[in-house]
Amino acid sequence: MFMRMQENFSGCRVLSYCIMSNHFHLLLEVPPMSAGGIPDEELLKRLSAIYTEAAVAVVAKELADARKTGNQSHVEEIHARYSYRMHNLSEFMKALLIRFTRWFNRTQNRRGTLWEERFKSVIVESGIAARTMAAYIDLNPVRAGIVADPAEYRWSSYGEAVGGGTKGNGKKARAGLVRACMSHQGCGFEAEKWQEVSRIYRRAMGLALVGKSGRAQVEKGVVRPQMNTAEALEHGVTDTPLAGIGMAAMLRHRVRYFTDGAVIGSKAFVNEAFAGARERFTAKRKDGARAMRGGASGAKGLLWSMRDLRTGV
């Protein structure tokens, strides 16, 4: 998949994704480049994600020759040739969209551009905001009426994580969702924590982890839960907090704040982002955090937005 290729090259990490028929959604973590750059070995490893073995070998020889002669400026030039595209959201999306367009045009015997407009991006705080955004993304096929349970949709992070079984397939999707749900508690990309995190994540999506019998439905080692929040409440088999139920209900509808809100997170987080971009706003605006209203009111008091969007649009 082009997304994974670009992820391995760029150093950006996909936490959650969903590919629909005419668009896709990504929750992406963009870590900063380390102060000392990346070692030669790591650079070559990343290049192998998108370049042929022969092309990487040429770069490897060029680096080795520069190191041998002590030409540090040439070494830096070689690194700069590729590293400007790493740890960069715009470059990640640019490369992904171009690669997909070329593949699609080739397979469909067509020419020209494929995407109507530039991608939209929202800054998301770790913790509840990241977990909610990931769940919103994975629930796209449910909102579209394609499936009743996001586990049944294969072109998404949750579908990949659940469908991978116990043999290691889906490990990268599981690691991304663990990070999305638990990064604020110090968790990295630890796929082995998926069993614990999957319970938290299903509750965030408003889905119980157990069947009507009160026992998990398991097929070939893969949990196949089907109940939604309403059913779980009816049968008394969910431990979803009431506040979480309101959030989960909200995620069953389109929330414009998640595509147009600019910054999503706690009040303090949004205000901090506002302070960092103060020059972009008029003097009349005193702070950045705006309560989420309308269909997003389920997140009131938990999540805030940089933009005060109109309701009913």
For the segment 53-100, what is each residue's pLDDT rounded down to a tens digit? Answer: 999 999 999 999 999 999 999 999 999 999 999 999 999 999 998 888
Whether 254 shows a pLDDT value over 60: the answer reads yes
- How far is the C-alpha of 88 from the C-alpha of 124, rounded, in Å? 16
Record the pTM: 0.83
Tokens 């116990």, residue?
166
For the segment 257-283, what is each residue's pLDDT rounded down to a tens digit? Answer: 999 999 999 999 999 999 999 999 999
Whether 212 shows a pLDDT value over 60: the answer reads no
Tokens of 96: 């992904």
| DSSP-derived secondary structure for 129-178 | HHHHHHHHHHTHHHHTTS-SSGGG-SSBHHHHHHHTTTTTTTHHHHHHHH
pLDDT bucket at 241, cuts 50 / 70 / 90: very low
